[in-house]
Amino acid sequence: MSSINFLKPDRTNLNTFLYLGSFLFFISILDVFLNSFFRLNLTGFLPNFLSFLLPLILGFMGLYFIRIEYSGIKNLDLLNKHINTNNFNAVLSLLIIFIIIKSLPPILSWFVIDASFAGDTKDVCTGSGACWTYIKVWMRRFMYGMYPNAEQWRINLSFVALVLLGSVGYFATDKFKKYLTLYYVVIYPLIAFLFIFFFISGGPVFFDFSYGIIAAILSIIIGFFIPSKFKFYYFLIVPLALYVILKYFLFFEEYIELGKLDGLNWVETGAWGGLSLTFIISFFCLIFCFPIGMAFALGRRSEFPLIRYISVGFIEFWRGVPLITVLFMSAVMFPMFLPEDFFIDKLVRAIIAISLFEAAYVAEVIRGGLQALPRGQYEAAKSLGMGYWKMHIFVILPQALKLVIPGIANTFLALVKDTPLIFVVGLLEIVGMLNLAKTNPKWLGFAMEGYVFAAIIFWIICYAMSKYSYNLEQKYKTDR
């Protein structure tokens, strides 16, 4: 038998090194494991410093011994390749394994083992773990804000209906596929608005707002039948005219009153809150910021210098200021700019502010897509005799938007993560409700549970969104 050089593990003594290395590695893991799960300190007899470092040294030696190239054992080779390529990596791997083992017991015991789930008063929360009872008791507030308990079915109904209507795209047959864009851009937002207007608010909250929406959507629908030559002038004039006609000549308040469903109480927007408000705000801002952003992206690349300068000014202004000051502006400065008898609900003001803010970011993202398109696309479209609008709608934008899906998704993610800022205007979505709940004298001291709960919810939403956008990106990836 050849002599063994312990400083140079090699294949000739594979088994010796393998057994020795695995044993040392196992011992080191076992020591940390027992230490953290059962509070057993195997190396307690050693000085403090050594007993802390011992598992690391043992594990390092173990990993050193089993680091044998081309050992012929598949699992060993995989292990070496992935966590044990050299000394430095071995130490880092060991440290990460130790951190995971060390941090599991406290996390588990806080979340599950020592946590209290039962009951509905503070008294049950005596353990050292989390008090999920607090979340359970306050669940309705976190989900619906100050919305009256008896009326909450309205929010649920609206959301269920909107999710169902939103999933229409998955079931559409080929025959209807071509109308999907129209459906999602125009009809679906209209339905969503009507749901929120009639069911969730139950009254004339969005007064002037509703006329604007109806005017905009009507003019877009009619716009499809206008020859492209006049389209620009059409969109400059008609929406405003429609708005004026609707507001002052056609829709009187009786019509709104007629449209009200019987038996629904009006719930003012100040009472809205919780997670449902997060959804409502994200949804509307998402709908509004996209067309506004697209308009400014096109404006920034327009051949008319004045339009270009105005677009650049708009975009740079909103991108240069923090959202919190924009909301401040919408809360304290904006009312000064309006006629005295003119009142806009603070939720609407917040939605407008966030939409304009995010629109600037969307505009920059879309501009990136427009710039990435080769000139040939523009020239080809022009040579076919297409006008500006036809060229953009049928040739440029479909390709440009495909390119910027990840960027748009990131902007929307940022939008969802920015919604908690509406506490500035006095609206309380889920984070705001948490801050309110934690100051309740009956439930003091449960801030941690609340924030962890909200963090989990937001994490799930945002992670799902980013994964979905990644899938979209893969789906629409076209090689060029």
Partner 1 sequence: MNFKLKDIVPQLITVLAVVLVFGFFTYNAQINMENRGIDFGYGFLSQESSFDVQFSLIEYDGSHSYFRAYLVGLLNTILVSVIGIIIATILGVIVGIARLSPNYLINKFAAFYVEFFRNIPLLLQIFFWYFAALRALPLPQDAEAMFGVFFLTIKGLYVPAFIWQNFNIFFYSIIAAIIAIIVIRAHAKKVQENQGKQIPVFLISIGLIFILPLLSFLIGGVRLSFEVPVLKQLATTSFIYEGGVSLPPELIALTLSLSLYTATFIAECVRAGIQGVGKGQKEAAASIGLTPNQVLKLVIMPQALRIIIPPTTNQYLNLTKNSSLAAAIAYPDLVLVFAGTALMQTGKAIEIVSITMFTYLTLSISISILMNWYNKKIAIQEK
Under the criterion CB under 8 A, does residue 320 sit at the interface with partner 1?
A: yes
Site for partner 1 in 357-416 (CB under 8 A): 413, 416
Angle between helices 14-37 and 48-65 (to 10 degrees): 150
Which of 262, 303 has the CB closer to partner 1? 303
| Of 284, 283, 274, 201, nearest in space to 420 by CA | 274
Site for partner 1 in 236-255 (CB under 8 A): 236
Which of 91, 186 has the CB closer to partner 1? 91
Q: Quick one: residue 202, left, alpha or beta (phi over 0 = left, psi -120 to 50 = alpha)?
A: left
Under the criterion CB under 8 A, does residue 468 sit at the interface with partner 1?
A: no
Report residue 309 CA to chain centroid gap.
32
Residue showing tokens 């975009």: 315
Part in contact with partner 1 (CB under 8 A); list of ranges 24-32, 83-91, 124-132, 159-167: 83-91
What does the block give as tokens for 269? 């927007």
Under the criterion CB under 8 A, does residue 81 sit at the interface with partner 1?
A: yes
Which of 151, 473 has the CB closer to partner 1? 473
Residue showing tokens 């919305």: 147
Which SS3 state, helix, strand or coil, does residue 440 take? coil
Contact (CB, 8 A) for 449 and 131: yes
How many amino acids of this chain bind partner 1 (CB under 8 A)?
60
How far apart are the C-alpha atoms of 145 and 431, rounded to whole Å?
10
Amino acid at 305: P
Under the criterion CB under 8 A, does residue 104 sit at the interface with partner 1?
A: no
Minimum gap (Å) between residue 172 Cβ and partner 1 = 31
Number of Cβ within a 10 Å radius of residue 423: 17
Minimum gap (Å) between residue 335 Cβ and partner 1 = 8
Which of 172, 307 has the CB closer to partner 1? 307
**Alpha carbon separation from 100 to 54, 95, 106, 128 (Å, rounded):** 17, 9, 11, 21
Which of 132, 195 has the CB closer to partner 1? 132
Contact (CB, 8 A) for 366 and 292: no
Question: Which of 123, 254, 340, 479 contacts partner 1 by CB under 8 A?
Answer: 340
Minimum gap (Å) between residue 68 Cβ and partner 1 = 18
Long-range contacts at 296-303 (CB < 8 A, ≥ 24 apart): 296/359, 296/360, 296/363, 297/362, 297/363, 297/364, 297/365, 297/366, 297/367, 297/370, 298/370, 298/392, 300/363, 300/367, 301/367, 301/370, 301/371
Site for partner 1 in 411-440 (CB under 8 A): 413, 416-421, 423-424, 431, 434-435, 438
Under the criterion CB under 8 A, does residue 85 sit at the interface with partner 1?
A: yes
Minimum gap (Å) between residue 430 Cβ and partner 1 = 9
| Most distant pair of Cα atoms in the chain: their distance | 105
Question: Which of 83, 124, 264, 344 contacts partner 1 by CB under 8 A?
Answer: 83
Minimum gap (Å) between residue 60 Cβ and partner 1 = 14
Question: Which of 187, 436, 447, 472 contacts partner 1 by CB under 8 A?
Answer: 447
What is the x/- site pattern for partner 1, positions 267-286, by CB under 8 A? --------------------
Which residues contact partner 1 by CB under 8 A?
Answer: 81-83, 85, 89, 92-93, 96-97, 232-233, 236, 304-307, 310, 316-317, 319-325, 328-329, 332-333, 335-340, 413, 416-421, 423-424, 431, 434-435, 438, 447-448, 451-452, 454-455, 458-459, 462-463, 466
